[in-house]
Amino acid sequence: MPTDQIRLLVVEDVPQVAQYVRGLVAASPRVKLLDVLHDGRAVTDQVVQQRPDVVLIDALLQGRVGGLELAAHLRRAGLPPAIVVITVPQRPVSTDAERGVDAVLSMPFTGYELVNLLQSVHQAQLERDPAASSRLLGVFAPKGGVGKTTIAFNLAVAIQQHVGAKTVLVDGSLQFGDLRALLKVPADAPSILELPTDRIAEADLADVLWRDPSGIDILLAPPRIEMADMVTPRDVEKVLSLLRRVYAATVVDLPTNLSDLTLAFLDAADVILEVVTYDSTTIRNTVSVADTFRAIGYPPSKIHYVLNRADSTGGLDPAMVQSTLGRVPEHTIVSDGRLVVEANNQGLPFVLAAPDAPISADVRRMAGALVSSRGPVGAGA
Ligand SMILES: Nc1ncnc2c1ncn2[C@@H]1O[C@H](COP(=O)(O)OP(=O)(O)OP(=O)(O)O)[C@@H](O)[C@H]1O
Ligand SMILES: [Mg+2]
């Protein structure tokens, strides 16, 4: 499963060594190489953007920032990844987790040694910090009515029930709170506003989450439109980091605008699931949002396209749509108007109401590709 892979970022300025590591990693299905950076300058930004599980740093890195200095800096910054330092026998380095050296690998090393070490530091990191492996998925589209809420709800249920990872669904559509209507939640059910914003403790969560009959927990939007103004981007950041510590997966249903609040959710997301349909306005808006995401600095791998109603092309040429988007959508979901409308009207997830329907199989497949069953330690369903 792709998410079982260890996401690796390499910082190496010697081209031959970089090439050697690339070759070793390419041969291992367990490791996904995100990037090789040739100097220490942009590393912190890249760690924030690309969210590697492990960073491999050459201790002898030349330039303004040395390798060990960089490791210590990343650790001080409190960034999640485990750090492995490579060195040569003549320049021994000792393991010192406080200074960002979780493990040392001395050259020359084999692919077997490298991959084994990456696995063991990654595993140790997961045990120390469950939040590091928690997945935050934002369901977004720059166009209304494409199926965001439907997909977010069913995906969250599929992750919990099918993948077996404890999941929370967040209504990030703070003004209109689509989930309240979909799930027929009473008006006095608690919302994100009930979370104390100065200091949020894990214990506060149970009181403000809505437990849906489908088994997932839901953090609702405020009950009235104007109350959305009471939530700040900083609150969003805090709430999400708290949810990460408790849940193996967080799915956020987002609105169509790119407000500061939406951006706070998108920034925090590991993957933005951008819903597209065969509709020319949707495709056009998707392309312009891709420019915005690029300008913000989101790596292309952070965005997955979800082609909804994939079998209703509405006269558009699928090949043309792919070339406009610049790639094949990572996930596809078929149309099933009757089932979706019926399930939504009853506030039920179709993945449970009709598990054998092709649309349910599509959502389960997507859930499995996005979240690994291993999940963070102690947070399995
Ligand atoms: N795969 C599908 N097959 C058939 N109908 C679908 C599918 N996905 C969504 N729909 C229908 O499309 C409509 C819009 O869905 P939904 O409310 O989930 O979209 P949304 O993107 O959240 O909309 P909004 O922008 O209003 O928040 C609903 O009537 C739903 O039943
Ligand atoms: Mg919606």
Atom of ligand 1 at shortest distance to CA of 253?
A: 22
Q: How confident is the model at residue 57 (pLDDT cuts 50, 70, 90)?
A: very high
Q: Per-residue pLDDT tens for 205-214? A: 888 999 999 9
Determine which residue's CA is closest to atom 12 belonging to ligand 1.
147
Cβ neighbours around 62 below 10 Å, total: 13
Rounded Cα gap, residues 155 and 63, in angstroms: 46
Q: Is the pLDDT of residue 3 over 70?
A: no
Q: How confident is the model at residue 102 (pLDDT cuts 50, 70, 90)?
A: very high
* pLDDT value of residue 129: 73
Q: Is the pLDDT of residue 381 over 90?
A: no
* pLDDT value of residue 242: 86
Q: What is the mean pLDDT of residues 314-337?
A: 93
Rounded Cα gap, residues 70 and 57, in angstroms: 8
Q: Range(s) for CATH 3.40.50.300 in the chain? A: 131-370
The highest-level CATH class for domain 131-370 is alpha beta
Q: How confident is the model at residue 199 (pLDDT cuts 50, 70, 90)?
A: low
**Which ligand is closest in space to the CA of residue 145?**
1
Q: Which two tokens stand for residue 89?
A: 């026998």
Determine which residue's CA is closest to atom 11 belonging to ligand 1.
147
Q: What is the mean pLDDT of residues 134-142?
A: 95
Q: What is the mean pLDDT of residues 333-347?
A: 97
Which of helix, strand or coil describes residue 139?
A: strand
Atom of ligand 1 at shortest distance to CA of 150?
A: 18
Q: Range(s) for CATH 3.40.50.2300 in the chain? A: 2-128
* pLDDT value of residue 373: 58
Rounded percentage of the chain residues whose pLDDT exceeds 90: 70
Q: How do 167-171 and 271-276 pair as beta strands?
A: unpaired
Rounded percentage of the chain residues whose pLDDT exceeds 70: 95
The highest-level CATH class for domain 2-128 is alpha beta
Rounded Cα gap, residues 242 and 223, in angstroms: 22
Separation of 149 CA from ligand 2 center, angstroms?
A: 4
Separation of 16 CA from ligand 2 center, angstroms?
A: 50
Q: Is the pLDDT of residue 95 over 80?
A: yes
Separation of 194 CA from ligand 1 center, angstroms?
A: 29
Q: Please work out whether the CB of residue 146 comes within 6 Å of at least one atom of ligand 1.
A: yes
Q: How do 6-11 and 31-37 pair as beta strands?
A: parallel
* pLDDT value of residue 197: 62
Q: Per-residue pLDDT tens for 225-251? A: 888 888 999 889 889 988 988 899 999
pTM: 0.77
Average pLDDT, the chain: 90
Q: Is the pLDDT of residue 380 over 50?
A: no
Q: What is the mean pLDDT of residues 92-110?
A: 95
Going across the sheet that includes 6-11, the strands are 31-37, 6-11, 54-58, 82-87, 103-106
